[in-house]
Amino acid sequence: MRVLHTSDWQLGMTRHYLAGEAQARFSEARLEAVTRLGELAAAEGCVCVVVAGDVFETSHPDARTVARTLERLARFTVPVYLLPGNHDPLDPGSIWRSPIFQDRCPTHVEVLDGPEARTPVEGLEIVGAPWPSKQPLGDLTAEACEAAPADGARRLVVGHGGVAEVSGGFEAAGTIELSRLRRAVSDGRVRYVALGDRHSATRVDDDGHVWYSGAPEPTDYDEVDPGTALVVDLGPAVPEVTRHEVGTWRFHLLRHAVDTDEDLDRLEALLDALDEPSRAIVKLGLEGTLDLRQVARLDALLEERALRFGALEHPQRHRDIAVRATDDDVATLELTGYAAVARDALHARATAGGHDGEVATDALSLLLRLAGHEEAT
């Protein structure tokens, strides 16, 4: 008996570094992932799909986001259970209670909005631990597990939140205590705990009763191996969990030292080696010092790539990389007369440093560009 375990769809998510059409494609890809999950559930013979929280990015998503999501879910061939998580908790004003959702929600899609168990098929109980607000008072998942009878039934608890043993602390609201889940499992109250919140697929306990499914599409640079869903076979005593890759976008955080032309060559090669640039979101963590000419080259190569990548976050001049107007830069500017005087004055200011030095450096950089333009014409 298989169940498709997924979570953290975070539909309606916006990223500032995604401009215009990239944001549209990113959003569309996330909806496509939902469709792929439905197909995966059907292909794998799952009896239902559980979404362990954060279906939406916020508890007040746009009506279009809701409508498009429900339209995709309507095409699922098995029951779907949606759990309100910390992003989209079940407060009275939330989307779950609004007519926008309720009026369109297909009959095979249910919100796990209370303690009562659902039975998609005979011999399988689904119990949800929904978030009632962004600041829950206790460990909702453990409480749901402990509330279930110790009858050894094939029971799946759907929960959401960080696990202290994984995230390393209880600071955040709604943190889950793994020992309580283990006890519930060993007491025969729960067979499998389907967790959401962590965007990387993770087995939480040693025996394999507690899992994070990971997000079907990545959402940020710091995620390890996102873009997954789990097919959980609840037949055996210990569930058999299979990971499936469903993501199409990738976040890349590239850390690179740039001090020489060779470094820039390597950076260029590194960028060009990335797969599927149109679905790559790239952030450059550059360190080093460049002269004006090198900065101009860096700017040019990044500008060109920015057109091809899904997103390319530029390093900020002066803040991320030091820019230095060198004697060579000045020598390149073969100016005479007053232009040479102006150039040398700016160079002196640039060398003096401070904010004025940065501005003077930028001015020299601009002068280099304008003078270069002169050479080209």
Partner 1 sequence: MRIRRLALEHVRGLESAEVHFAERGVTVIEAPNETGKTTLFDALDVVLNEKHGTTKQHVRALQPHGRDVASTIEAELTLGPHHLTIRKRFHRDRLTELVVHAPTARQLSGTDAHDELRRLLEEHTDLALLEALRFRQGRSLDPVALAGSRSLARQLDASAGGPGDPHDDALYERIVETYTRYFTERSGKETKLLTDADAAVERSEAEVARLEALEAKLTEAGRRASEVAVQRRRLAARRDELAPELAARRDAARRVARLRGECDAARAELRRAEAERDSAARAVVEREELAQEVADAAAAQAEAEAELTRAEDALAPLAASLAALDGRVATARDEAVRAREQHERARAIADLVRAREELARALASRRRVDLAIEEARAAEAVLASSAYTEERHRRVRTAAEDVRLAEAQLGAAAPQMIVRARRDVEVDAGDGPEALAAGAELERRVPDRRRVRIGDLAEVEVVAGTSLEDRQQAVRAAREELVSACADLDVEDADGAEVLAEEIRGHRETIAARDAILARELDGGTRDALETTIRGLQDRDAALCERLDIDAGDAVDPEAPPDPEALESAESKAREVVASLEAERRARSEELESLRERVIAARTSRDGARVQHDRRSTRLEQARTEVDDAALAAEVLRAEEAVGAAEQDVARCDQALRELDAETVDALVQTAESQLEHAREQLAGLQEEAASLAAVIEVHGGEGIGEALQAAEAELTRRRGERDGLRRRAEAARTLKEAFDRARDEAYAAYRAPLRERIVAAGRMVFGDDLDIELDEELAITSRTLQGITLDFEQLSAGAREQLAILTALAAADLAGEDGVPLVLDDTLGYTDPGRLERLGAVLGRLRGPQVVVLTCVAMRFEAIPGATVVRLPPAPVA
Binding residues for partner 1, rule: CB under 8 A, are 12-19, 23, 56-66, 91-95, 97-100, 133-134, 317, 335-343, 345-346, 359-360, 362-367, 370-371, 373-374
Cβ partners under 8 Å of residue 180, min gap 6: 139, 142, 145, 146
Choice between 183 and 318, CB closer to partner 1: 318
DSSP track, 317-348: BTTTBEEE--HHHHHHS---HHHHHHHHHHHH
Choice between 7 and 58, CB closer to partner 1: 58
**Least CB distance to partner 1 at residue 152 (A):** 36
Closest CA to 249 of 17, 54, 4: 17
Choice between 25 and 60, CB closer to partner 1: 60
**Least CB distance to partner 1 at residue 20 (A):** 10
The rounded radius of gyration (Å) of the Cα atoms in the chain is: 27
**Least CB distance to partner 1 at residue 316 (A):** 8
Three-class secondary structure of residue 113 per DSSP:
coil
**Least CB distance to partner 1 at residue 355 (A):** 10
**Least CB distance to partner 1 at residue 315 (A):** 12
Choice between 38 and 61, CB closer to partner 1: 61
Choice between 322 and 342, CB closer to partner 1: 342
- 342: exposed, middle or buried (C-beta count within 10 Å: 0-12, 13-18, 19+)? middle
**Least CB distance to partner 1 at residue 131 (A):** 13
Core vs surface per residue 196-221: b (16+ CB within 10 A) or e = bbbbbbbebbeeebbbbbbbbbbbee
Cβ partners under 8 Å of residue 295, min gap 6: 317, 321, 323, 365
Choice between 133 and 351, CB closer to partner 1: 133
**Least CB distance to partner 1 at residue 314 (A):** 9
Choice between 107 and 377, CB closer to partner 1: 377
